[in-house]
A and B are shown apart, each in its own frame.
Chain A
Amino acid sequence: MKSEIAARKAAGQDWLRAVPGPLHAWLVPIAIVALWQIAGGLGWISATLLPTPLTIAKQFVSLGLSGELWEHFQISILRALSGFVLGGLTGLALGLSTGLGKMAERTLDPSLQMLRTVPLLSLIPLFILWFGIGEFSKILMISLGAFFPMYVNTFLGIRSVDVKLYDVSRIFQYSKLQLVIRLIIPAALPNILLGIRLSLGVSWLVLVVAEMMGTSAGIGYMIQDARAYSQTDIVFVGIIIFAIVGKLSDSVVRLLESKLLRWRETYKG
Chain B
Amino acid sequence: MYGMVSGMSADTLIIEQVNKIFQAPTGNVMALKGIDLRVRKGEFITLIGPSGCGKSTLLKIVAGLDTSYEGNVLLNDKPVSGPSIEKGFIFQEPRLFPWLTVEKNIAGNLSLKQAAVRKKVDEFIELVRLQGFEKAYPRELSGGMAQRVAIARALLRNPDVLLLDEPFGALDAFTRSHMQEVLLDIWQNNRTTMLFVTHDLDEAVFLGERVVIMNPRPGHIRSILPIDLPFPRKRTGSSFQELRTKVLREFEKVEEPEFDTGAGI
Residues of chain A whose beta carbon lies under 8 Å from any beta carbon of chain B:
164-165, 167-175, 178, 182-183, 186-187, 189, 261-265
Given contacts A164-B265, A171-B87, A265-B139, contact A182 B109 (CB under 8 A): yes
* Contact between B84 and A183, CB atoms less than 8 A apart: no
Q: Give Cα A220 to B3, complex, Å.
A: 84
* Contact between B137 and A164, CB atoms less than 8 A apart: no
Which residues from chain B contact A172 at a C-beta distance below 8 Å? 85, 108-109, 153, 157
* Contact between A173 and B97, CB atoms less than 8 A apart: no
Within 8 A of A (CB), among B156-212: 157
Can you name the residue of chain A whose Cβ is closest to the Cβ of B163?
A171
The secondary structure that dominates the B interface is loop
Given contacts A182-B109, A263-B137, contact A173 B98 (CB under 8 A): no
Q: Give Cα A107 to B166, complex, Å.
A: 42
| B63, CB-defined interface residue at 8 Å | yes
Which residues from chain A contact B21 at a C-beta distance below 8 Å? none
Within 8 A of A (CB), among B61-93: 63, 65, 82-85, 87-89, 91, 93
Task: Tell which of B63, B83, B99, B138 has the most Cβ of chain A within 10 Å.
Answer: B99
Given contacts A170-B65, A172-B108, contact A165 B95 (CB under 8 A): yes
* Contact between B83 and A171, CB atoms less than 8 A apart: yes
* Contact between B65 and A167, CB atoms less than 8 A apart: yes
Of B63, B84, B93, B157, which is within 8 A of A164 by CB?
B93
Of A171, A189, A264, A265, which is within 8 A of B84 by CB?
A171
* Contact between A173 and B83, CB atoms less than 8 A apart: yes
Q: Give Cα A20 to B88, complex, Å.
A: 57
* Contact between B97 and A171, CB atoms less than 8 A apart: no
* Contact between B98 and A171, CB atoms less than 8 A apart: no
Which residues from chain B contact A175 at a C-beta distance below 8 Å? 109
9 contacts between A and B (CB under 8 A): A165-B95, A167-B91, A167-B95, A169-B109, A172-B85, A172-B109, A172-B153, A182-B109, A263-B98
Given contacts A164-B91, A182-B109, A265-B139, contact A170 B99 (CB under 8 A): no
Of B98, B100, B109, which is within 8 A of A178 by CB?
B109
Q: Mark B126-144, 1 if CB is under 8 A from A, else 0.
A: 0000000000011100000
* Contact between A173 and B85, CB atoms less than 8 A apart: yes
* Contact between B157 and A264, CB atoms less than 8 A apart: no
* Contact between B95 and A168, CB atoms less than 8 A apart: yes
* Contact between B83 and A165, CB atoms less than 8 A apart: no
Which residues from chain B contact A173 at a C-beta distance below 8 Å? 83-85, 109
Interface size on B, residues (CB 8 A): 24
Given contacts A178-B109, A263-B98, A263-B137, contact A171 B265 (CB under 8 A): no
Which residues from chain A contact B99 at a C-beta distance below 8 Å? 186-187, 189, 261, 263
Which residues from chain A contact B109 at a C-beta distance below 8 Å? 169, 172-175, 178, 182
Q: Give Cα A168 to B97, complex, Å.
A: 9
With A168-B95, A172-B108, A173-B83 given, name 8 new contacts (CB 8 A): A167-B65, A171-B85, A171-B89, A172-B153, A174-B109, A183-B97, A186-B99, A263-B100
* Contact between B85 and A263, CB atoms less than 8 A apart: no
Closest Cβ–Cβ distance, residue B141 to chain A (whole Å): 11
Can you name the residue of chain A whose Cβ is closest to the Cβ of B110?
A172
Within 8 A of A (CB), among B100-124: 100, 108-109
* Contact between A264 and B98, CB atoms less than 8 A apart: yes
Which residues from chain B contact A170 at a C-beta distance below 8 Å? 65, 82-83
Q: Give Cα A138 to B157, complex, Å.
A: 55
Given contacts A171-B84, A172-B109, A263-B137, contact A186 B97 (CB under 8 A): yes
* Contact between B97 and A164, CB atoms less than 8 A apart: no
* Contact between B88 and A263, CB atoms less than 8 A apart: no
* Contact between A171 and B139, CB atoms less than 8 A apart: no
Can you name the residue of chain A whose Cβ is closest to the Cβ of B159?
A171
Q: Give Cα A175 to B95, complex, Å.
A: 19
Q: Give Cα A183 to B99, complex, Å.
A: 9
Of A164, A174, A262, A265, which is within 8 A of B95 by CB?
A164
Closest Cβ–Cβ distance, residue B165 to chain A (whole Å): 11
Which residues from chain B contact A187 at a C-beta distance below 8 Å? 99
Can you name the residue of chain B whose Cβ is closest to the Cβ of A171?
B83
Closest Cβ–Cβ distance, residue B99 to chain A (whole Å): 4
Closest Cβ–Cβ distance, residue A107 to chain B (whole Å): 28
Can you name the residue of chain B whose Cβ is closest to the Cβ of A179?
B109
Q: Give Cα A170 to B81, complex, Å.
A: 12
Closest Cβ–Cβ distance, residue B130 to chain A (whole Å): 17
Closest Cβ–Cβ distance, residue B100 to chain A (whole Å): 8
Q: Give Cα A114 to B137, complex, Å.
A: 41
Which residues from chain B contact A171 at a C-beta distance below 8 Å? 63, 65, 83-85, 87-89
